[in-house]
Structure 1
């Protein structure tokens, strides 16, 4: 039995319209995977999960409504709305198409998981039909919006949303239809059946076989012929759809042939008149003979050329004579009409009706190639080729006429060229790439059919001959033409149109090369234009200029991506993927960049699941760093998990890429990084520098901190990676003096809350009491190559490959002690930042004392109370910094280097600042704080970590001087207190902290104490 073909002989499956889809981006995303959401949750997700783009648009509209439109007249408001309408409609169309294509792809993904063989192929060409339906609907929407105000039409034209846009949408629909028709010609079932049919291709044929039976046997054994037939049928249908109804006035030279506006009839009427005059003059009852004397008397008055003496269609060629000028122009129009009827694939009935109305049925007879016909096939457009089986002489004669240079018009050569399969004869009248393709593919198909007919004739002479081997594929000739069309002046502009470039690859059966060219061009144009370049490595491969244009066209990028994703499961791109998988993935990544530009973040995981596991984190990470709304992050997490994307690797890329990008922007600003100063000297006395942390004003700093909020989404097993990401950023921020960003990080991604959310345990306190791991002197971690010191941090990924298996951050564990150990450095760095924050707040409060009224005991009492609470907060925050081994639990050699730098700078600064706060509190609140200064001195002296930091930073002299001032102040306070108690009737000094002290809170003199 012949295989089921999607061809003109065996029928074509009707295009299926896609199901109705929802317009919301988030409903589109949620409809992809709803197994993890309850039905009642979907509405809430849809309401809350707005993209940044949508929220911004909404805010802009609100602003315009409130501040502008209320103050203008109605006509002006209407004009503004019409001005923006084309842009909004285009954006809506693109958004709707993007979502509908994603939904169709995801449905196909789910349905095709368990399919194989012919069922998978059938599902794929059904998907192509669905895509065609989406494009058809989009074209319909563009058409519906054409009836609008004339000003809006001008605006639409200026924005590119014109008739050309609709034509591209219709072409897109046709391309998807063509794909669904071509795929069966490549299916393994058809190829296998065709291979088996070769052994008995001619068995059922005999001398009485009908033309359509011979044609069916030919199509059964030759898959390439099936491909050509589909292409020809598609090209003819495209011509019918995109061209207006054929009219006489549209034909070449018709306006000059003297027929007027009415339909002609009667043939060459201007040449008939001289012939009739000669017959009357000579009283000649029969046809005139072209004798020599007739040539001297029967000629055209315009140029004295001899006229024909008979009116049959071959007279001019046979007699080597001319028609009247009007009739020659008429012949040009008539052959042009015949060409158009062939080009549009008109049926024999349509051709007959056309020429019957013009009283020239013989022309219709030429076009239909008369021969033995089956009644069921009598009205097929393919009758002219099918009938070559019984009328091969006609093909020979047509070929001779096609090659005859004496034929009066190129259109006559073209008609005979189409009938005989001569591309060279038809090429001169081809005005478009599609015309050339029609003529060329027609020639290739007839060539293959004549080869089969020759084998059939041999079989009739040699009955034992049953086998037939088809000609090798000749699609290379189509590819050669498509390449030449890109440099031919007549077709160059058309060939460079992105949609045409895709069509040419499909027609020439060269999709693998097309995808490779597009992949190279995607990377090149990304770096050239700057759009999405962070997603690609630079590519310097020489590519076609058409590919570079197409790689920037959003519609073609979308089509190429979805076509590639549909063909890949069929195995049609296996060889290309084996050799150039990364290049082919560029097409998918290019489309993901397009989704990013349209803020379609919820659609990204679907396409990320189609690229290699190595590139998923990089691509998703660099895009999703822009997702800042917690609910949208949660949705991304669910989607990534549903598509089996390793979430922890994506989170690592988001944070690491944000940190490195910020670090590279920071590095050119200074040669060496400078940590922030916490203290300052005024009159040789140490004070906390006012506002030394400040606020985050740099957008890059804000973004890098915001990106690390993704750490809250990591899983327990990869907690070590989260700790590495956080400590890496803390170290970068501290070493570069970005304390405001470090403070923001400590509040946005607090260890206590994050660990509780991720692991279910509060690791902020547990980390402090965890045992300090022994330093491994043999650990040699190779840091990533970056631009400067603050980026020399080895990633956990490298650690897993290069370090020992027991590296704390490389362990996947849920053990509380191990998790606490991993969190230790993070906890220390966070505590350091929090301690500095309390110091800044203390100094702000201390400075505000100067603004209070000095003679109000109630105010003084309140101020002292506030200062006391603030100082107690400083005391609590500083205690962890005074512990043994603070910031000394490095996980590797590089981290030990970074922590040592932080210790040597910030610990002396913070301790001197803390001592300064105690010194001030000893004067302003109670002398007990001066006693704490002495206790602080003892703690520092007994702590090797602290003394080592002061010695290494060469600040021991500052510390000794500060403690000396503390001793002097305490001694004076004791003497003053004793003198006060000996005084008669005196009250206790406020320095003693006892009730009834005087209001001397403002009498703290830094300079006086220094000079004592």
Structure 2
């Protein structure tokens, strides 16, 4: 057991962060007893916000801070850089935290859209494939459109999430720093094209031309070039370069690109119109803010529609598309107009990340829907004329069938070279499944990866392998068992989904048919794996909470394989209180635990009545000796330090769990009998002894009746057991079954006790025999630990006590042991009786022989009494020895006792003497005395 405890300690060495308990506490508050379903739904819908804030807080704490000496005021002009994180482990942790922040941000945006607190029962879940509705009820404003179209609202939420992600990136000025430096204008960010303006002024002075330069003769105009020799624009209009097909000075070209990069980033990050105006005003480029203000979709959700009639805004979008496709001097300029027009190709050209590509497509889908709305606000002839004269990009038509559109987009990014690596990262893959409304499949495949990982080296009881539906799975796309942060995230996402679906069912809403039963069982392995992590992190008290999310029978199975490790009775009581608090049936739990553990023992490997794996061997080899008889083997149970097989230790623990629940006592008896049979069939005596010591029949009986052990005859009364069942309110067992199980349990326990008593005596005899020949030297006389000299009264008193215990424990085996159930047809008990009884009684005879020669001849007299019991006409022992072919051994053993009694030289010691009793029975040792 000690080595087992060390093993458990080693396996449970994980040190979890505070977020593990914080997440659990937040979840627990949502499921507090007494809350209505509506209240629970409200709290669960708010959980992603709490988890999001928790992740943000941890990220802030993880990021390095500027060091301060604490003296004086802070010099705001002094630039003090934030120290860079260089430790790879810290970098990885920060990156994971950033991804977790993004994941919870996405969940908190999408979850309320698909699981609102009050919704029609027919509405589909976010986590089922989206239903692309028909044209929503006519809306009169853009805000009303977003409120009435669930698909538009969801896409808007995804765009806001992508905008928020982008906002957490580097500062926009930092992104444009290199371009700004190449613009060769120092820190000046205003006043437009400085270098081009200078060149134009210089040209006018050089040619003494007071008019516009484009009015100069072609010969003179041909020499008007920039520093690279390319034709230079002749005026500073914003569209001069495109209109004249000329270039700017190279430095101004960098400046222009920097400004367009900034404009794109502001749109990509969802900056508000005020922010864009201020940014453009700093650069004296207000016309750009105006050109981008037709339809702004800022991250704060305050959509801005230009103060213009719908036809004008629709036309503006088409002009933006024309610029994106046919105009612009730079990719970012075309991307800006492409983003405003809802184009995909021009925006994807500057996309760098997975987020950028998703944004390009979702922005196009959203703006297409808005354009359709605007056209619906126009007079029919105006709308028709506009669509015929000015082309627009229809992203919905581009993506094809609306059903499964999002999933096709996500799958395409997994195979696209520029996004494949990022798309297959577990956090991003999880986010993608949420966006694609394919979370059920993702969780199913995630569970398959986890269970495959758990069963890689050996079969896992907590996470049994489940059959795949044949889908090809890319393991690196999912979290592994060792990625505890990822496991925590995905487990809680599953918990949110499962709880909300459960609330739907309780409220009578249409069930989600997307997740079939096979998928659900597999998905539950995610939570099961997380409970395994909690166990390893010594957070056992959190396990019942997460098991309560699972559906029976998985709920009880996962709880069982976690709780089976608990060794302390006080902690078992505490766990049962927690289990009851979260709404799990404690009786069902302990019964499931015991059944699962017994099934895991694999008792089917030995058929009823078949040969046992190993015969019981108590006696030493060779003929009986005058002093010891045959002699009992010392430690025939096995080494006391040996660890009982884990499966068998679990079987004993499962019965201890059953004992903690008052109404489970019939199962204690029923399963206890099966466990005893299993141990004895395999001669696993150490395990049988543990069961005998830790689950005692007397304790079971006292728990049932709240009284001390009464007359044993009462236990064979069916009415007594009927009364106990009635008082306990148990209807799942019959009095006859309980009576039989109680009798069998008690009699098998008697065998374990008898064997234990024999082994104790055999070990003490071995100690006395080992030192019988050692003289009492001074140096050895002090070695009390290893020597039992003849005069050691304490030792021989202990031997006498062992003999007394042995005789008491053997009595139940000497008459009718197991016969009642054998007569009822129990073949396993018949085989046990046949295999154990002859060897045990021979061991008893040898024990009496040894006690008679070492303590008192009265024990030899008792062996003679035992001989008469065996020889009686109605004895049930004779047939056992005859059938076993061991009657000769028994006769020789009794003969050896008789001889030892006859040649005994006198009374040895009176310890444990039973002379009075023997004399009352007509025996006297003087009958065997040999006169000298």
Question: Given the two structures, how large is their TM-score scaled by the length of structure 1?
Answer: 0.72
Change (3 A) 1:370 1:102: closer
Residue 287 of structure 2 corresponds to residue 362 of structure 1 = yes
1:642-653 paired onto structure 2 within 5 Å = 642-653=581-592
The corresponding residue for 1:704 is 648
Number of aligned residue pairs:
833
1:361 deviation in Å? 1.6
Question: Greater CA deviation, 190-199 or 309-318?
Answer: 190-199
Name the SS for the 1:687 alignment partner: coil
Provide, for residues 461-518 of structure 1, a one-character-per-residue CA deviation record: whole Å limited to 9, x for no partner. 89xxxxxxx9999584433332232233332332233322222222333333333332
Q: Counterpart of 1:736?
A: 682
Give 1:332 deviation, angstroms.
1.7
State the partner residue of 1:401. Answer: 323
State the partner residue of 2:488: 558
- For 1:587, the equivalent position in structure 2 comes to 526
Whether 1:963 and 2:885 are equivalent positions in the alignment is no
Which residue of structure 2 aligns with residue 934 of structure 1? 864
* 8 Å CA contact retained: 1:522, 1:590: yes
Structure 1 residues 167-212: Cα deviation after superposition (integer angstroms, max 9, x where no partner): 234334523442456447796269989999978625xx5xxxxxxx
The structure with higher relative contact order (CA 8 Å, sep 6+) is 2
Distance of 2:898 and 2:6 partners within structure 1:
62
1:332 aligns with 2:257: yes
Q: Is the 8 A contact 1:752 1:764 kept in 2?
A: no
* Gap change, CA 1:233 and 1:380, over 3 Å in 2: closer
Deviation track 1:499-543 (CA, whole Å, cap 9, x = no partner) reads 222222223333333333323333233223769664223444435
Q: Secondary structure of 2:620's partner?
A: strand
Does structure 1 conserve the Cα–Cα contact (< 8 Å) formed by 2:163 and 2:299? no
Q: Find the aligned partners of 1:148 and 1:764 in 2 and give their Cα distance.
A: 78
Distance 1:848 1:191 in 2: 81
Aligned equivalent of 2:545, options 585, 590, 606: 606
Q: Which residue of 235, 241, 246 maps to 2:172?
A: 246
Q: Which residue number corresponds to residue 215 of structure 1?
A: 142
Per the TM alignment, residue 397 of structure 1 is displaced from its structure 2 partner at its CA by 0.9
Counterpart in the other structure of 2:212: 286
Do residues 914 (structure 1) and 844 (structure 2) align? yes
**How many angstroms does 1:617 deviate by?**
2.7
Q: Measure, in 2, the Cα distance between the counterparts of 1:988 and 1:730.
A: 38
- What's the C-alpha RMSD, in Å, of the aligned pairs? 4.7
CA distance in 1, matches of 2:798, 2:705: 37
Structure 1: tracts of 5 or more residues without a match:
1-51, 61-87, 206-213, 463-469, 774-809, 981-986, 996-1003
SS at match of 2:877: helix
C-alpha deviations, 1:768-799, integer Å up to 9, x for none? 952699xxxxxxxxxxxxxxxxxxxxxxxxxx
Tell whether the 8 Å contact from 1:716 to 1:814 is kept in structure 2 after alignment. no
* Partner Cα separation in structure 1 for residue 133 and residue 408 of structure 2: 31
Residue aligning to 1:789:
none
CA separation in 1, counterparts of 2:377 and 2:909?
129
Structure having the larger proportion of residues in helix: 1
Question: Which of 415, 421, 424 is the equivalent residue of 2:336?
Answer: 415
Q: Cα 1:530–1:396, aligned 2, differ >3 Å: closer, same or farther?
A: farther
Aligned partners of 1:959, 1:623: CA distance in 2, in Å? 49
* Equivalence for 1:444: 365
* Structure 2 residue 613 is the aligned partner of structure 1 residue 673: yes
Q: Is the aligned partner of 1:835 residue 2:754?
A: yes
Cα deviation digits, residues 807-857 of structure 1 (max 9, x gap): xxx973596x86443211111111111112222222334445554799999
* Distance change >3 Å, CA 770–CA 762, structure 1 → 2: farther
1:431-470 per-residue CA deviation (whole Å, 9 max, x = no partner) reads: 22222222222111110111112222247989xxxxxxx9
User: Which residue in 2 is equivalent to 1:84?
Assistant: none
Q: Say whether the 8 Å CA contact 2:271–2:299 is kept in structure 1.
A: no
- Distance (Å, rounded) in 1 between the aligned partners of 2:584 and 2:824: 30
Secondary structure of 1:889's match?
helix
Could you tell me how far apart the structure 1 residues matched to 2:697 and 2:891 are?
35
Relative to structure 1, the CA distance from residue 458 to residue 765 in structure 2 (aligned partners, 3 Å threshold; closer, same or farther) is farther
Find 2:805's aligned residue among 859, 862, 873.
Answer: 873
> 1:215: Cα distance to partner?
1.0
What is aligned with 1:97? Answer: 19
Relative distance call for 1:338 and 1:319 in structure 2 (3 A) is: same
CA apart distance, 1:160? 6.0
Most deviating of 426-435 and 658-667:
658-667
What aligned pairs does 1:809-848 form with structure 2 within 5 A after superposition?
Answer: 812-813=732-733, 819-848=738-767
Report the more deviating stretch, 905-914 or 155-164.
Answer: 155-164
Q: Provide the residue aligned with 1:201 in structure 2.
A: 138
- Other-structure match for 1:549: 478
The secondary structure found in structure 2 opposite 1:413 is helix
Structure 2 match to 1:745:
691
1:429 correspondence with 2:350 = yes
For structure 2, list consecutive stretches of 5 or more residues without a partner in the other structure.
70-82, 125-130, 384-395, 505-510, 720-729, 777-787, 917-924
Map 1:636-647; keep pairs closer than 5 Å: 636-647=575-586
Identify if the C-alpha distance between structure 1 residues 112 and 236 changes in structure 2 by more than 3 Å, giving closer, same or farther. Answer: farther
Q: Name the SS of the counterpart of 1:576 in structure 2.
A: coil
| Offset of residue 396 of structure 1 | 0.9
Give the corresponding residue for 1:576: 514
- Segment drifting more, 611-620 vs 751-760: 751-760
Aligned position for 2:188? 263
538 and 763 in structure 1: CA distance in 2 versus 1, 3 angstrom threshold: farther
Distance 1:191 1:827, change over 3 A: closer
Partner residue, 2:701: 755
CA contact (8 A) 2:633 2:763 kept: no
Residues 524 and 540 in structure 1, CA contact (< 8 A), matched pair in contact too: no
- 1:716–1:813 Cα contact (<8 Å) kept: no
Deviation at 1:137, TM superposition (A): 3.2
How far does residue 343 in structure 1 lie from its aligned partner after superposition?
A: 1.2
